[in-house]
Amino acid sequence: MRYHTPASFEDAVEIAAQAEGITRFLAGGTDVLVQLRSDLVTPDDLIDIKHIPGTHEIVQNDDGSWTLGIAVTGAEMSEHAGLCAVWPGLVEGMDLIGSTQVQGRATLVGNLCNGSPAADSVPGMMAAGATVSVMGPEGGRVVAVEDIPAGPGRTTLTKGEVITAVHIPARGEAAGDAYQRFIPRTEMDIAVVGVGVSLQLDGDVITEARVALGAVAPTALMVPDAAAALIGSTLDEDAKAKLAAAASAACNPIDDKRGTIEFRTEVAGVLACRTAQRAYDRAQGKKVAKHV
Amino acid sequence: MSKIHVSTTVNGDPVDFLCDPRETLLDCLRDKLSLTGAKEGCGTGDCGACSVEVDGRLVCSCLMLGAEANGKAIATVEGIADGETLHPLQAKFIEHAALQCGICTPGILVAAKNLLEKNDSPTEEEVRYWLAGNLCRCTGYDKIIKAVMETAADMREAS
């Protein structure tokens, strides 16, 4: 295995594009090292992209949007008061991954590119309308987060392509987001169902909504029908019933030891309503307790 | 295979070593620097027995390559005591018998010290969540949590 520490994304792309064997990019390493040590994936070329300038920065741009470097850790996001105030749901999704120790290393882009359908940070990013910059041998492109996962352990990135930054939109007044997951324990577990919701209100009425589900299909899903059930409502009981039905209808889960198909499908509906309520309360400026 | 030259500091001392790119920081600490306080429990970041600080940040040394330590400041359990004087957490763990087999103890001490440096008056819930990534199969955790809470109280009183 060759270990590379390129000083620019151009160099990283060149190394990856010319590599002939298995290539992995190394950010936080919380998945790559586990796969390496268990002999599941032994890269011929391991490209550590944390030495590239700017990759550790959280920047709020002049238009209010955010740019997060690919090496920003979960702990750094949770400690960033400005980001937590504006996108609490996106941050709480990331914060649910693993232990304090894992939070010291794990990154948004690593969680996305590992390709787990249950990745906790992904529904929150999708609900927020986050995009990523991708650089490859043919040049650069900007891709919606929901277009990166292709299936368990797979992404739509092609040979030599690397994500260079995460972009999170500006947030207006009267807006809120939330992420919740169901796990059988209280901490340190993998989502059985995860839901991300982002809402924009006008008074009490929801004018914009984005709903994303995790762990109930081969990739995290955007659920436009669930968003449509919320738009124009005040999150009344009728809207919640339609939201739950739309969320459950979108599910295409597996049966495993964590949950059956029936269980995941029902919980998706219940959790969508609870998560929407948290996003709605935040949009109205109410204090919503974060998990510890 | 060519080795990678790593220059780092461990518990304040400048250290140089050569490592294979596949070796973890935990391998390097234990096998090259003879710092065997950090333990390999699971090797997958679940148990926390290998916890160390890297530039003040709590991490699992099994989930980091030795090569990644270049230019970083590493702190391990070996640096917690001041010479022969135990750190208050170490003394309190002994007083409460907050350990049995001891495999998890170095990682828990490093993690608890890191918490108390960020938050000198954590709630019991905060301590339990902070240490959720440190597994102990002997004590049932209550003695550990009590020792950490009492140390925090003692250190607040002393400061």
DSSP codes, A246-266: HHHHH-----BTTB-HHHHHH
Backbone angles phi, psi at A114, to 5 degrees: -65, -25
Please answer yes or no on whether A292 and B57 come within 8 Å at the CB atom.
no
Cβ contact, residue pair B45, A36, below 8 Å? no
Is A105's CB within 8 Å of B24's CB? no
Q: What are phi and psi of A108, to 5 degrees?
A: -60, -50
Residue % of chain A over a pLDDT of 90: 93
Q: Can you tell me the distance from the alpha carbon of A221 to that of A197, in angstroms, rounded to the nearest whole number?
A: 12
C-alpha distance from B140 to closest chain A C-alpha (Å): 16
Determine the Cα–Cα distance for residues A247 and A237; give it in Å rounded to an integer: 15
What the block records as the tokens of A262 is 């029936």
Confidence class of residue B159 from pLDDT cuts 50, 70 and 90? confident
Confidence of residue A291 (pLDDT cuts 50, 70, 90): low
Instruction: Give the burial class of A68: count Cβ atoms within 10 A of its Cβ; 0-12 exposed, 13-18 middle, 19 or more buried.
Output: buried
Q: How many helices (H) and strands (E) does chain B have?
A: 5, 5
- Facing residue for B129 by CB, picked from A30, A42, A292: A292
CA distance A29 to chain B (A): 6
Chain A contact for B125 (CB, 8 A cutoff): yes
* pLDDT at A292 exceeding the cut of 50: no
What pLDDT, on a 0 to 100 scale, did the predictor assign at position A185? 85
Helix (H, G, I), strand (E, B) or coil at B54: strand
**Dist. CA A276–CA B133, nearest whole Å:** 29
User: What distance in Å separates the CA atoms of residue A258 and residue A108, rounded to the nearest whole number?
Assistant: 24
User: Coil, helix or strand for A155?
Assistant: strand
User: Count of residues for chain B?
Assistant: 159
The closest alpha carbon to B44, from A181, A30, A146, belongs to: A30
Average pLDDT over residues A22-26: 97
Residue type, B112: A
Q: Quote the CA–CA distance of A230 and A240 in Å, as a whole number.
A: 8
What integer is the mean pLDDT of A186-204?
A: 94
CA distance B90 to chain A (A): 20
A215 C-beta neighbours (distance < 10 Å), count: 30
| Band of pLDDT at residue B2, cut at 50, 70 and 90 | confident
Closest alpha carbon within chain B to A185: B132
So what's the pLDDT on residue B1? 59
How many angstroms separate the CA of residue A17 from the nearest CA in chain B?
A: 21
Residue of B nearest to A3 (CA): B21
The three-state secondary structure class of A181 is strand
Cβ contact B41:B135 at 8 Å:
yes
Chain B residues with CB under 8 Å of A75 CB are 57
Handedness of CA A268, A274, A277, A278 (dihedral sign): negative
d(CA A50, CA A169): 24
- Note whether B65 contacts A37, CB cutoff 8 Å: no
| B21 has a chain A CB within 8 A of its CB | yes
Residue A20, C-beta contacts closer than 8 angstroms, at least 6 positions apart: A44
Taking each helix axis from N to C end, the angle separating A261-283 and A237-250, rounded to the nearest 10 degrees, works out to 140
> What token pair was written down for B52?
């160390």
- In A, which residues are within 8 Å of B59 by CB distance? 101, 104-105
Question: Which of A100, A102, A105 would you mutate first to test chain B, the one with the most B CBs within 10 A?
Answer: A100
Distance separating alpha carbons of residues B121 and B127, to the nearest angstrom = 10
Both structure tokens of A266:
């029902």
* CA pair distance A9, A17, nearest whole angstrom: 12
Q: Residue A23: pLDDT above 90?
A: yes
Contact between B45 and A1 using a beta-carbon 8 Å cutoff: no
- CA dist A80 and A88 (Å) reads 11
CB contact under 8 A, A187 and B132: yes
Q: Which two tokens stand for residue B50?
A: 């290998």
C-alpha dist (Å) from residue A100 to A158, A191, A290: 33, 18, 16
Q: Is B86 on the interface with A (CB under 8 A)?
A: no
Looking at chain B, which residue has its C-alpha nearest residue A46? B21
Nearest to A102 among B114, B129, B133 (CB): B133
Percentage of the residues of chain A whose pLDDT score is greater than 70: 99
Integer Cα distance of A134 and A141 in angstroms = 5
All residues of chain B having their beta carbon less than 8 Å from the beta carbon of residue A102 are 45, 60, 63, 133
**Between A257 and A56, whose confidence is greater?**
A56
For range B31-43, the mean pLDDT: 97
- Of residues A103, A112, A116, A122, the one with CA closest to residue A292: A103
Q: Looking at beta carbons, which residues of chain A come within 8 Å of B45?
A: 30, 33-34, 98-99, 101-102
Chains A and B form CB pairs within 8 A to the count of 84
Tell me the pLDDT tens digit for each residue of A30-55: 999 999 999 889 999 999 999 999 99
* Mean pLDDT over each residue of chain A, to the nearest integer: 96
* Residue A137 · residue A23 · CB < 8 Å: no
In chain B, where does DSSP find H-type helix? Answer: 25-27, 88-95, 105-118, 124-130, 142-158
Facing B48 at nearest CB: one of A29, A46, A99: A99
Residue B82: strand pairing partners: B85
Kindly report, residue by residue over A60-77, the tens digit of the pLDDT.
999 999 999 999 999 999
Mean pLDDT of chain B: 96
Judging contacts by C-beta atoms under 8 Å, the chain A residues touching residue B72 are none
At a CB cut-off of 8 Å and minimum separation 6, what does A97 contact? Answer: A74, A103, A106, A111, A119, A120, A121
Q: Region B60-80: what's the mean pLDDT?
A: 98
pLDDT digits (tens, 9 = 90+) for A122-165: 999 999 999 999 999 999 999 999 999 999 999 999 999 999 99
